[in-house]
Structure 1
Amino acid sequence: MTTTQHPLRLRGFRLLFLGRTVSTLGDAVVPAALAIAVTRATGSSGALALVLGSAMVPRLLLLPLGGVVGDRVNPRLVALVTDLLRAVVQVAVGLELLTDQPRPAVLAAASAVGGIASAFAMPTATPLVAATVDGPLRMRANALLASASNAARLGGPALAGVLVLTIGPGWAFVLDGASFLVSAALLTRLRVRHTPGERRSLRTDLLHGWTAVRSRDWYWTSLIGHGVWNGAAAVLLTLGPLIASRQLGGDAVWIAMTQAAAVGVLAGSLLAGRYRPKRPVLVANLGLALYALPLAALAVAAPAPLTVTAYAVAMTGLGFLSPVWQTVVQQEFPPQVLARVTSYDWLLSLAAAPLGYALAPLAADAWGSTGPLLVTAALVAVACGGTAAVPGVRRIGHRTDAGDGRTPEVTKGAAPGSSPDREALDTPGRRNPTIRA
């Protein structure tokens, strides 16, 4: 084996990198296009909440099952099948939006199918990186993936604006469907190592994954903060488009906010590739607390430039957290449980989002948008910043002994990347001394 200085020299990671970047570019045009399309057709934030929530609810319900499947089955195969399914769903949504009167019920049903596919796709992300890149290179690989994906998102809102203002928002979804097809084609050429753990009952596998989560105080307490963050994001995404349109200057302001958010996330991921804090989880969680800024700005209808800037700063925190969090998780959990751990990560992180989608329009109708947005700002600041009180959050750091940086290879009888020490971390009842949001 030869020492590899850059993860892009690994063929498997290159294919994964290209597929993720292309599919993210397609996804990046969707949020702004969907928000504008639904609010144009219905004039109701409730209809937008219905469509967004229809994807979220089945995703949350099936995430633990998706984690078990991801650990039992080669994650490449799971990712390939779900990419193909999501391609079909996005094209169907695009065709519906191209009609004169898109039906919210049809959009909600398609979103639900897409949510089911996502429940099985999302847990494969961390295992695929861990299977294609070893040890110290993972931080750089995760930062590269995040930076490339965020660069793609940077162009997404602008492209969405062009599509919405010229030929219509439906074409944004057709483009997203095509991007999933490209990703699936690249996955057919990817070969990753997969050594499944001992086959047990579904209930036992679910409990085993949950034991790995709850035995690490830094993990489950951070996920609570990440969950509140996602609930706050749901409130902002539900109320933000109408506030921007009616009080801050029109649809162009919302597009500018999504564009600024993409810039912030990109800046955060680039920072993560260069700045290695001694307490990465602590720093990343404090960065998430910055999401209180745009919530407060929208609550008081601050001038558009200030609101756009606040959103960019807040999303810088998210951009920094994502690669840092994934690297620490890949470092601290053995590969046989990574998909289940990732599924619980997503489940706990996203659990508050449907609540935000459902309650935001109701609260705004009852009391106006100012009160709910200010309360949400306070909650996210306390929940994310409060993790600083957890000993494990303050203690955990990047390890320098997580691998030798060499090209991964399969060792007969052993799981890729495993070692006696890493296996011991997953022993039920053991406590490691050390979110997507």
Structure 2
Amino acid sequence: MPPHPHTPHPLRSRSFRLLFAGRTLSQLGDAVVPVALALAVLQATGSTAALALVLTCAMVPSLLLLPLGGVLGDRFDARRIALTTDLVRCATQLLVGAQLLSDEPRLWVIAIAEVIGGAASAFAMPTVSPLVAGTVKDGQLQRANAAMGAARSAARLSGPALGGLLVLTWGPGWAFVLDGASFALSAALLAAVRVRHVPVPRRSLLADLREGWGEMRSRDWYWSSLIAHSAWNGAAAVLMTLGPAIAVNEQGGEGVWVAMLQTGAVGLLLGSLLAGRARPRRPVLAANLGLATYALPLLLMAASAPWPLTIAAYGIAQAGLGFLSPVWETTVQRAIPAHALARVTSYDWLLSLAAMPLGYALAPVAADAWGAQVPLTVAALTVTVACLATAAAPGVRRLGTEQPTGGGTGGGSGTYSAAGDGQPRSKKVSSETVA
């Protein structure tokens, strides 16, 4: 529901303000690391295969453990889980930083640290939505998610520059020390946050996993959108794999690629800010249609279009992503019952990110066989069809801004659509306790 004109901004709430500050700090630290990690591993080993190994060590455990992370996020206090994972990731980043600051960094130690950090992120990611929903009122949700999205976008915009500065002046190890410190500060802030928590009856792990899957599968607007989101991530992996070489070899050099990424970060920020003010009548449909704009930079790059056009198109495409994230998160928080929110979010992350490894693996193979134009064009068509096809789902067309909540914010009683067809059915919201 749109916020009342006199509803205070969520940042006036102490708990959300602390949560916002903590997440912003950790996101800034994380945005610094990719530049530092790539340069550090390449400097230490001279091998792109070694870099791929380290990245895989972080990503695979994160994907495999996401469903379990969702169960724990619902079964236990999301704040405590987020705090614990912040401390774990603080330790792993400090360990990597210490290795890189040493005279002889050991790749196997860095890889193990990334495995542990990736596992911790699997338990941390499903807690973000319950934490936001548990610290603000229902009328503040979209503005709260937009504020979180804007902070995330700002971190992505400034993080690479800060990371490059640290690498050039102090060395890559200090970038990881900074990231570790950001997680420590985030944990300290989370310790002071008060979050509403809906207790979940203790059952078997399998029963919890099935219930979370059922909540997601019963809503056609949810699972159809996840297919589109997965296609988008697969297409993004294709662009991130082939784009740098095309920019350097065909479109003017490394500066073109850097300009494209920075323009994308600006677009992401603008899209997040727009999401805080826009009130589309069909939020999921509007967000998915905006996501389809990612086909523009893919097609322009495949056609070897002038680089200013490609850069502008990428900025527009990232604005679509920036708009989608807060709108999608707000819709999910309102529609999914609070006791299942972390589990549903974990499946969301798992299915949305599942296509990325496939894109990373297939893009260079297809480019070698048929040229880069083929995988870029296929990726563009795939993301366009997947995003536009969500309009065929009745729930996507019917789900509007006035859709009653599923109790995700603990605002009293509410309704949600269990069948996912856009038609509300009565559902009493459980009473909540403050953790």
TM-score bracket relative to the smaller structure: 0.7 to 0.9
For 1:387-402, list aligned pairs within 5 A.
387-399=390-402, 402=405
Check whether the contact 1:79–1:124 (CA below 8 A) recurs between aligned residues: yes
Pair 1:419 & 2:422 matched: no
Aligned to 1:155: 158
Shift of residue 110, structure 1, vs aligned partner: 3.1
The one of 291, 313, 317 equivalent to 1:314 is 317
The one of 286, 294, 297 equivalent to 1:294 is 297
Secondary structure of 1:267's aligned partner: helix
For 1:368-383, list aligned pairs within 5 A.
368-383=371-386
In 2 relative to 1, CA 108–315 (structure 1 residues): closer, same or farther, beyond 3 Å? farther
In 2 relative to 1, CA 244–169 (structure 1 residues): closer, same or farther, beyond 3 Å? farther
Secondary structure of 2:365's aligned partner: helix
Q: Partners of 1:323 and 1:360 in 2: how far apart?
A: 30
- 1:139-189 per-position Cα deviation (integer Å, ceiling 9, x unaligned): 111111111221232211222232344444343332222211111110111
Farther off after superposition, 328-337 or 147-156: 147-156
For 1:111-130, list aligned pairs within 5 A.
111-130=114-133
Secondary structure of 1:191's aligned partner: coil
Shift of residue 394, structure 1, vs aligned partner: 1.3
The one of 144, 163, 174 equivalent to 2:177 is 174
The one of 358, 361, 364 equivalent to 1:361 is 364
Check whether the contact 1:163–1:169 (CA below 8 A) recurs between aligned residues: yes
Q: Partners of 1:369 and 1:101 in 2: how far apart?
A: 38
Secondary structure of 1:200's aligned partner: coil
- Structure 1 unaligned regions, length at least 5: 409-414
Higher relative contact order (CA 8 A, sep 6+): 1
Shift of residue 115, structure 1, vs aligned partner: 1.5
Check whether the contact 1:75–1:127 (CA below 8 A) recurs between aligned residues: yes
Farther off after superposition, 262-271 or 97-106: 97-106
For 1:45-56, list aligned pairs within 5 A.
47-56=50-59
Farther off after superposition, 127-136 or 357-366: 357-366
**Counterpart AA for 2:289:** L
Shift of residue 365, structure 1, vs aligned partner: 3.8
- 1:322-356 per-position Cα deviation (integer Å, ceiling 9, x unaligned): 00001000111111010011111111111111212
In 2 relative to 1, CA 399–192 (structure 1 residues): closer, same or farther, beyond 3 Å? same
Shift of residue 114, structure 1, vs aligned partner: 1.8
Q: Partners of 1:117 and 1:175 in 2: how far apart?
A: 18
Aligned to 2:429: none
Check whether the contact 1:87–1:180 (CA below 8 A) recurs between aligned residues: yes
Check whether the contact 2:54–2:110 (CA below 8 A) recurs between aligned residues: yes
In 2 relative to 1, CA 45–225 (structure 1 residues): closer, same or farther, beyond 3 Å? farther
Secondary structure of 1:136's aligned partner: helix
The one of 84, 88, 97 equivalent to 1:85 is 88
Shift of residue 8, structure 1, vs aligned partner: 1.4
- 1:2-53 per-position Cα deviation (integer Å, ceiling 9, x unaligned): x852211211101001111111111222334444555666676655444333
Pair 1:188 & 2:188 matched: no
For 1:26-425, list aligned pairs within 5 A.
26-38=29-41, 47-98=50-101, 106-399=109-402, 402=405, 416-417=410-411, 419=413, 421-422=415-416, 425=417
Shift of residue 299, structure 1, vs aligned partner: 3.2
Q: TM-score, normalising length from structure 2? A: 0.88
Figure out how many residues of one structure are paired with residues of the other and give that number. Answer: 418
Check whether the contact 2:232–2:294 (CA below 8 A) recurs between aligned residues: yes
In 2 relative to 1, CA 104–234 (structure 1 residues): closer, same or farther, beyond 3 Å? farther
Farther off after superposition, 53-62 or 344-353: 53-62
In 2 relative to 1, CA 304–173 (structure 1 residues): closer, same or farther, beyond 3 Å? farther
Secondary structure of 2:134's aligned partner: helix
Shift of residue 273, structure 1, vs aligned partner: 0.9
Check whether the contact 2:406–2:414 (CA below 8 A) recurs between aligned residues: no
Shift of residue 113, structure 1, vs aligned partner: 2.0
Secondary structure of 1:421's aligned partner: strand
Check whether the contact 2:26–2:183 (CA below 8 A) recurs between aligned residues: yes
Secondary structure of 2:197's aligned partner: coil
Q: Partners of 2:371 and 2:44 in 1: how far apart?
A: 22
Secondary structure of 1:417's aligned partner: coil
**Counterpart AA for 1:139:** Q
Aligned to 2:428: none
In 2 relative to 1, CA 317–85 (structure 1 residues): closer, same or farther, beyond 3 Å? same
Q: Partners of 2:339 and 2:23 in 1: how far apart?
A: 23
Secondary structure of 2:293's aligned partner: helix
Check whether the contact 1:123–1:340 (CA below 8 A) recurs between aligned residues: yes
Q: Partners of 2:235 and 2:43 in 1: how far apart?
A: 24
**Counterpart AA for 1:226:** H
Secondary structure of 1:274's aligned partner: coil
**Counterpart AA for 2:26:** S
**Counterpart AA for 1:67:** G
Aligned to 1:411: none
Calculate the aligned-residue CA RMSD, in Å: 2.7
Q: Partners of 1:170 and 1:250 in 2: how far apart?
A: 28
Pair 1:433 & 2:427 matched: no
Check whether the contact 2:336–2:405 (CA below 8 A) recurs between aligned residues: no
Farther off after superposition, 4-13 or 124-133: 4-13
Shift of residue 300, structure 1, vs aligned partner: 4.2
In 2 relative to 1, CA 281–194 (structure 1 residues): closer, same or farther, beyond 3 Å? same
Q: Partners of 1:364 and 1:105 in 2: how far apart?
A: 31
In 2 relative to 1, CA 231–85 (structure 1 residues): closer, same or farther, beyond 3 Å? same
- Structure 2 unaligned regions, length at least 5: 1-5, 424-435
Shift of residue 247, structure 1, vs aligned partner: 3.9
In 2 relative to 1, CA 90–238 (structure 1 residues): closer, same or farther, beyond 3 Å? farther
**Counterpart AA for 2:422:** P
- 1:357-385 per-position Cα deviation (integer Å, ceiling 9, x unaligned): 22233333444433222221221111112
